[in-house]
Each structure stands twice: as C-alpha cells, then as structure tokens.
C-alpha cells in the first residue's frame, strides 16, 4: 500500500486535465483494497477507483477525497483444453501487455483490441471493443469488491449487463463494485475471414491471403492502423475515442444515406445501424480544428487532443461545439465515451 497526498489529477489521467486529489492510495491486494475503502468511507470522504486513467476526465476543482489506484496484478491460467484457454487477470495489469502475452501464446479473441490504453479492470466497465471484437465476446466472469455489502463477489456475463460500450459499472450500479480480476476464455483456432472492414482492406492491400492470417498478424495490423488514427496519449494528451459511435434507427440511417451516400453504416440488428462518430464530425468540417485549446485530431476526428486547454471548462466548450454541429447537420446526438471524475 502506497499513500500519496495532494496529487495532480493531470498526472493520473491521459487527457492531462484536472486539479489535485487529497489522497491517492495504490492497492495491490484484496485485503488492502477493502481496508482502504472502508477507512475512507468511515471518515466520510468520497472515493474513486482508477486504473490507467485513459478513459477518465478530471475536473478543475480536483477531488476532495481518496483516489484508490488499483494495482492488483497477476495472470493465471485457470483452465486449458484442446479448444480454449481460460485466463484470470488482475485488474491492475495493463490491457495491451496482457493482449500481447495472449497473442504470443497464439490465443484468439482479443487480438483486434490490441493497443487499447488502460488496465484490465477498466475493460468491462465500458465493454471495450475494436475492429470487430469486444470484451463481452470472450468474457466469463469477474471478481469484485461489493462496497454495498462489504463482500467479495463473482459476477458472470449476464450480471454485467454488457451493451455497446456499456455495462452496469457505468450504468445502474456505478460505484458499487470495485473490479479486482477478470476471467476470459480465449480460443485456439486460427482467425477466420472475413475480418472487420478496416482489417480486410489492410490485408488485401498487402496482398495477404486472409485464410493464412494469424493472431499475431491481426495484432500487428491493428497496431499499425491505430498508430495512424489514434495518437499515443503519452505524446499527445487524449482520452482515446471521445465520442461513442451512435446507434440509430435504420430508417434514419437510410434517410441520411440517401443524402450522404458516402456515409458508412454498420448493421447492429434488424432495426438499428451504427454510424462512425468520426465520420459525422469530419463531415461537419471540424477535423483538425482547434476549439478552446482542444484539437480535433487530424487522423481521426473522434479523438480530442489537449493541445493547449487551460482547464476542464475548455474541454466542455469544445465538446459542446462538436455535439451541436453534428446535431444541426444530422439530427444525431453524440455521447461522450470517457467517464467523469467528480
């Protein structure tokens, strides 16, 4: 357990905004986690759990309580057979480091989510996904500390309420559970084409026979594609994809497609389609624009980069201009993807 005081939240979040937190305590075990949380609550202080800080926006006023920095580590194979391997991972592990290890073992199911910043514990919160894969596809269960009942529990897939970039942990049960470990089952069969559109095009451009593609080739391709579209937060402060790709009624999608034939749409079910938020923002001529010190990234308009913002209010102003522009042109309301620390 490591206790720090008056720590700037700008050093803990990849958007590099925010005031200071009274206390930041790193925990490495279930015992420490429970002890720190209970002491904080007994003292009447608010608490908040963070991992890598890559999907989190901090406010200028800081945080007047205790930030619990989840550093629970470990990777353990809990079941293995000819078809699949089940792995339990500590919430404090870096997500991409974990993906890399699984790819090196030639295990499939999360390779297309290579390069996503943050920790394993954050992955179920927004049901992370990329290039045709999402966490729910391989998810078995998670272990968590239930702050309401002061107990450690196991939640299976159905209990987590996974949806597109959503779960109970950022919905109706926000703040109740502190995730300590995540269990996934990964396959041993080679990836099967056709792949997600961007990957399929990547392989075709390089004249690669998609029937010979391996999980390592998918990881390499994803990392290459992401390097051109998603800036490294260590180099350019950002929170990854800032807006969710909106899911709209198919009727609206068809109407918009008639007037914007180049608009990409992806079927979600029989009555809904998904439209890339980046395309909508770019179509409003905002790509590359600097709004209140926040730059709409040149390579991917769904990413907002903190170029010279003085505080959270600048981000709010930039966000609102983007949301208003998209709604005025397409009658679609963009939703923010990162959570807010408050």
What pLDDT score does 258 carry? Answer: 95
Is the four-CA dihedral 291, 295, 300, 304 of positive or negative sign? negative
Give me the mean pLDDT over the 63-69 stretch. Answer: 94
* Residues 225 and 247 occupy one common structural domain: no
Sign of CA dihedral 75, 77, 78, 84: positive
The answer to whether residue 53 sits within a structural domain is yes
Active site residue 158: no
For residue 89, being part of any structural domain is answered with: yes
Cα angle: 220, vertex 224, 230; to 5 degrees: 130
> What whole-number distance in Å separates Cα of residue 4 and Cα of residue 249?
48
**In the structure, what pLDDT confidence band is assigned to residue 66 with cuts at 50, 70 and 90?**
very high
What is the CATH number for 137?
3.30.465.10
Strand partners, 182: 89, 142
Look at residue 251 and tell me if it is in a domain: yes
Axis crossing angle, helix 215-229 with helix 95-104, rounded to the nearest 10: 150
Asked whether residue 80 falls in the same domain as residue 66, the answer is no
Residues 284, 180, single domain; the answer is no
Which of 155, 187, 219 represents a domain boundary (last residue)?
187
Query: pLDDT per residue over 117-145, tens digit each?
Result: 899 999 999 999 999 999 999 999 999 99
pLDDT at position 209, please? 86
Is 313 catalytic? The answer is: no
CATH code (residue 274): 3.90.78.10
Least confident of 142-156, 170-184, 228-242: 228-242
Query: Does pLDDT of 245 surpass 90?
Result: yes
pLDDT of residue 233: 87
Beta carbons of 87 and 60 less than 8 angstroms apart: no
Angle 279-285-287 from CA coordinates, rounded to 5°: 65
Taking CA atoms, 141 is separated from 76, 106, 156, 245, 285, in Å, by 14, 22, 4, 26, 43
Please report which confidence band the pLDDT of residue 193 belongs to, taking 50, 70 and 90 as the band edges: confident
Identify the active-site residue in 93, 111, 134, 337.
337
Q: What is the pLDDT of residue 1?
A: 78
Q: Are residues 137 and 175 in the same domain?
A: yes
Average pLDDT of the residues in 286-298: 97
Please identify, among 47, 70, 93, the residue that sits at the C-terminal boundary of a domain. 70
- Looking at the predicted structure, is the pLDDT value of residue 241 above 80? yes
Write the DSSP string, 220-241: HHHHHHHHHHS--TTTS-EEEE
Q: Within a domain: residue 192?
A: no
In terms of domains, do 211 and 255 share one?
A: no
Please tell me whether residues 51 and 110 are part of one structural domain: no
Q: For position 232, what pLDDT does the model report? A: 85
Shared-domain flag, residues 85 and 183: yes
Residue 176 scores a pLDDT above 80: yes
Query: Token digits for 132?
Result: 């045709």
Query: What value does the mean pLDDT of the chain take?
Result: 94
Residue 342 reports pLDDT greater than 80: no
Query: Which pLDDT does position 169 carry in this prediction?
Result: 96
- Structure confidence at residue 131 (pLDDT): 92
- Do 39 and 122 share a domain, yes or no? no
Asked about 40 being catalytic, the answer comes back as no
Per the domain annotation, does 331 fall within a domain? yes
Percentage of the chain beyond pLDDT 70 is 100
**Does residue 48 carry a pLDDT above 80?**
yes
What is the average per-residue pLDDT within 228-232? Answer: 83
State pLDDT tens for residues 149-160: 999 999 999 999
3-state SS string over 49-95?
A: EECCCCCEEECCCCEEEEEEEECCCCEEEEEECCCEEEEEEECCCEH
Q: How many domains does the chain have?
A: 4
Which of 114, 181, 241, 319 is flagged as catalytic?
241
Nearest in space to 240 (alpha carbons), one of 318, 128, 101, 324 = 128
Domain finish residue from 70, 98, 114: 70
pLDDT at position 160: 97
Q: Residue 29 above 80 pLDDT?
A: yes
For residue 5, the model assigns a pLDDT of: 93
Q: Between residues 249 and 233, which one has the greater pLDDT?
A: 249
Percent of the chain clearing pLDDT 90 (strictly above): 83
The predicted model gives 166-179 an average pLDDT of: 94
* Residue 174 domain boundaries: 75-187
Catalytic residue among 165, 181, 219, 319: 165
Measured distance CA(231)–CA(264) in Å, rounded: 23
Burial of 315 (0-12, 13-18, 19+ CB in 10 A): buried
| Continuous segment of H or E residues that includes residue 269 | none
């Amino acid at each position: 357990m490591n206790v720090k005081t008056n720590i700037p939240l700008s050093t803990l979040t990849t958007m590099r905004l925010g005031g200071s937190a009274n206390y930041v305590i790193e925990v490495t075990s279930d015992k420490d986690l429970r002890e720190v949380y209970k002491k904080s609550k007994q003292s009447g202080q608010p608490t908040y759990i963070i991992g890598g800080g890559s999907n989190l926006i901090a406010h200028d006023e800081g945080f007047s309580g205790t930030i619990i920095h989840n550093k629970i580590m470990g990777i353990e194979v809990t079941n293995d057979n000819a078809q699949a391997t089940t792995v339990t991972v500590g919430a404090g592990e870096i997500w991409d480091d974990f993906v890399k290890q699984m790819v090196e073992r030639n295990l499939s199911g999360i390779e297309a989510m290579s390069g996503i910043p943050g920790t394993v514990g954050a992955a179920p919160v927004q049901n992370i996904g990329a290039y045709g894969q999402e966490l729910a596809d391989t998810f078995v269960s998670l272990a968590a500390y239930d702050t309401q009942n002061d107990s450690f529990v196991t939640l299976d897939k159905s209990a987590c309420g996974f949806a597109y970039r959503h779960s109970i942990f950022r919905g109706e049960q926000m703040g109740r559970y502190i995730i300590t470990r995540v269990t996934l089952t990964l396959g041993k069969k080679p990836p099967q084409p056709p792949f997600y559109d961007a990957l399929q095009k990547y392989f075709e451009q390089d004249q690669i026979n998609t029937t010979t593609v391996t999980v390592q080739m998918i990881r390499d391709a994803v990392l290459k594609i992401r390097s051109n579209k998603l800036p490294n937060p260590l180099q350019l402060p950002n929170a990854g994809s800032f807006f969710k790709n909106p899911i709209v009624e198919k009727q609206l999608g068809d109407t918009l497609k008639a007037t914007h034939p180049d608009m990409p749409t992806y079927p979600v079910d029989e009555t809904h389609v998904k439209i890339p938020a980046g395309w909508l923002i770019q179509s409003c001529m905002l790509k590359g624009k600097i709004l209140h010190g926040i730059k709409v990234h040149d390579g991917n308009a769904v990413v907002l980069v903190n170029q010279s913002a003085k505080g959270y209010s600048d981000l709010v102003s930039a966000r609102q201009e983007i949301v208003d522009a998209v709604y005025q042109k397409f009658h679609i309301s963009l939703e923010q993807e990162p959570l807010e620390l408050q």
